[in-house]
Amino acid sequence: MIFEPTNNPPPEQLPPLVLAYIGDAVYELYIRSRLIEAGLTRVKNIHQRAVELVQASFQAQFLQEIESQLTEEEQMMMRRGRNAKSGHVPKSAEMIEYRYSTGLETLIGYLYLKGEHKRLCELMSRVPISLP
């Protein structure tokens, strides 16, 4: 974990959209780091590929691929995020994709704040970073 949370309430007590907010940042940082690790060194190229990998449609598809491998607790947190009402859907996403991507981000935020770094890395390592 990059930053050790100090006085955060237990992640189970946080609203799912707060967990998704944190999860979005963790996911984005992970993707950017992996792209650099994969050999991309031009910011334009890193950004272009990162945009593809952080889109709601990609995140929704990724979640559906790993969903059967989630524990009961992880599935519960993912569902909390998926069912949360955010009030808006980006123009670039369908409602169902956005809900699933919010579920993924909620799960990531939950694992991050809970300190489940090994499990978080295990799941995130399954994101297909392959370069075009």
- Active site residues per annotation: 24
Residue carrying the six token digits 């984005």:
28
Amino acid (one-letter) located at 39: G
Helix axes of 117-124 and 95-114: crossing angle, nearest 10 degrees:
150
129 secondary structure, DSSP code:
-
Angle at the Cα of 60 from the Cα atoms of 39 and 47, rounded to 5 degrees: 30
